[in-house]
Amino acid sequence: MDQARPAIHHQARPTFAELFTPKLVTVLREGYHLKQLRADVIAGLTVAIVALPLSMAIAIASHVEPERGLFTAIIGGSIVGALGGSRFQIGGPAGAFIVVVASAVDQHGVDGLILAMLMAGAFLLAAGYLRLGAYVKFIPYPVTVGFTAGIAVIILSSQLHDLFGLTLPGKEPGDLLPRLIALGRAAGTVNPAAIAVATLTIGIIVGMKRWRPSWPGLLVAVAAASLATTLLGLPVETIGTQFGGIPRILPDPTLPAFDAHKLVSAIPDAISFALLGAIESLLSAVVADGMTGRRHRSNCELVAQGIANIGSALFGGICVTGLIARTATNIRAGAHGPLSGIFHSAFLLLFMVVAAPLASYIPLAALAGVLATVAWNMVEKPAFLALIRSSWGDALVLLVTFGLVIFRDLTTGIVIGFALGALLFIGRMARSVEVEAHVPPVTDDRADDENG
């Protein structure tokens, strides 16, 4: 008797609309009422209060004017909310980009940074439409932990200058070891007032996180430090003394001046921006899925991130990505859908229009204190220690990635860490899987039956 052949069911490939329809459209199709609107407005306001000081602090640490961080959160955040593939994603400037943005500005100037962002946006668009979003999940976990910890170390080292109020005779070096040497030589210029302001800021942030976690600790800390600095007349640098304040309106969109040489020289930075932006935004979307039980559209998210970076570049902002901490804050604040991200950007614009003059009183030491706490919280300390103890392979990938990010650069750390992790995985599979070749005898009758 002939054996019945099992039926083969082919799963239909997702359509273009299924892959690239923004979550905002999905949410509106479900039905959107006053209750959902109220939830998104409250969540957007909550996230905007967190993002206000942080966006300026990240911009300053990235060697650009503080308003560029606000432009990024306003333009990039609204585009990510409108076009993104994650229901709760908040877009804006990220601490993880400080290293690469500052390096691009130092090498090519702001025009070079804008040009690299435009190319990075195009790369992210291509990655999304080529459906490469799902491949981010193959990045080894030790690589993500290692590069995050490495970035945190570099961010913290970049804030020592303002944390201690040091005066350097020249430009602060970009590399870690030369920077630490230069800061050590300037130890005699320590400003006790700056240390006091930074300590006050960090103390309030840590204290409120422990005893009043629902309060906007970052904003309260910066406001308290600004008030103390002004009332006591402390001799510390502020946004006003360093940058002359921030504008009340968005700039007109413009394209940077460039030529073929500048275009080619900006390509490595563009690749770094696109690679880091893809990893950071999709990891943030995965975290949001884990917190809510939803599923994001990875390729749609990459397309939105690409458009957001192009939009931010045109308005003079810096790199845009999905933000894990602010996305988690958005979810915990009760957001219903992507409109909360758009409201977050709208509130930031309102704050800039109404309260721009007050930003002049913010001490740089206070913003350095904010970034110091951000750097500390970026390090996944339990995961780092667990990977060190788990196996020599995971520990090796972690430490190689961590070391290369600190002493070389971010892209090299990710690429080599990924390659090393892949080789170790292949070796592990080769040792653990035994392949037994077994060919059953086939009679002529059976062969005829299969052929017929």
Task: Please write the tens of the pLDDT for every residue from 271-317.
Answer: 999 998 998 898 889 889 988 989 999 999 999 999 999 999 999 99
Q: Which of 322, 407, 253, 289 is nearest to 73 (CA)?
A: 322
Using DSSP, state whether 403 is helix, strand or coil.
helix
Q: How far is CA 21 from CA 75, 148, 176, 258, 402, in A?
A: 20, 31, 43, 34, 37
Q: How far apart are CA 191 and CA 365, in angstroms?
A: 10
Q: Which two tokens stand for residue 103?
A: 């390096």
Mean pLDDT of 393-410: 89
Rounded mean pLDDT of the chain?
Answer: 88
Q: Which of 179-193, 196-210, 304-318, 405-419 is predicted with the least confidence, judged by mean pLDDT?
A: 405-419
User: CA-based Rg of the chain, rounded to a whole angstrom?
Assistant: 25
Residue-wise DSSP of 261-289: HHHHHTHHHHHHHHHHHHHHHHHHHHHHH
Q: Which two tokens stand for residue 244?
A: 């002359």
- Position 2 scores a pLDDT of 46
Q: How far apart are CA 257 and CA 352, in angstroms?
A: 28
Q: Which of 345, 347, 329, 330 is nearest to 78 (CA)?
A: 345
CB 162 within 8 Å of CB 195:
no
Q: How far is CA 452 from CA 2, 448, 449, in A?
A: 12, 6, 5
Q: What does the domain layout of the chain look like in residue ranges? A: 16-377
Rounded (10°) CA dihedral 220, 80, 371, 249: -60
Q: Which of 277, 368, 291, 382 is nearest to 323 (CA)?
A: 277
Q: Which two tokens stand for residue 442?
A: 């086939």
Q: Hey, which of 46-50, 105-109, 305-309, 387-391 has the most confident mean pLDDT?
A: 305-309
Mean pLDDT of 215-234: 92
- Position 87 scores a pLDDT of 94
Q: What are 2-19's pLDDT values in tens digits? A: 454 555 455 567 787 778
| Residue 129, φ and ψ in degrees, nearest 5 | -70, -25
Using DSSP, state whether 92 is helix, strand or coil.
strand
Q: How far apart are CA 379 and CA 141, in angstroms?
A: 14
Q: Residue 433 — very low, low, confident or very high, per pLDDT cuts 50/70/90?
A: low
| pTM given for the model | 0.85
- Position 277 scores a pLDDT of 92
Cβ burial, residue 83 (10 Å; 0-12/13-18/19+): buried
CA atoms within 13 A on the CB side of 315: 23
The neighbour count for residue 283, using CB atoms within 10 Å, is 18
| Alpha helices in 391-442, H assignment, sequence order | 392-407, 410-432
Q: How far apart are CA 329 and CA 48, in angstroms?
A: 10
Q: How far apart are CA 256 and CA 314, in angstroms?
A: 8
Q: Which two tokens stand for residue 362?
A: 């913010």
Residue 277 CB partners (closer than 8 Å, separation 6+)? 97, 120, 124, 305, 309, 319, 320, 321
- Position 11 scores a pLDDT of 57
| Alpha helices in 62-187, H assignment, sequence order | 66-71, 77-83, 98-129, 141-163, 176-185
| Residue 398, φ and ψ in degrees, nearest 5 | -60, -50
Q: What are 72-124's pLDDT values in tens digits? A: 999 999 999 999 999 999 999 998 898 889 999 999 999 999 999 999 999 99
Q: How far is CA 193 from CA 197, 198, 204, in A?
A: 6, 9, 17
Q: Which of 72-81, 195-204, 256-265 is predicted with the least confidence, judged by mean pLDDT?
A: 256-265
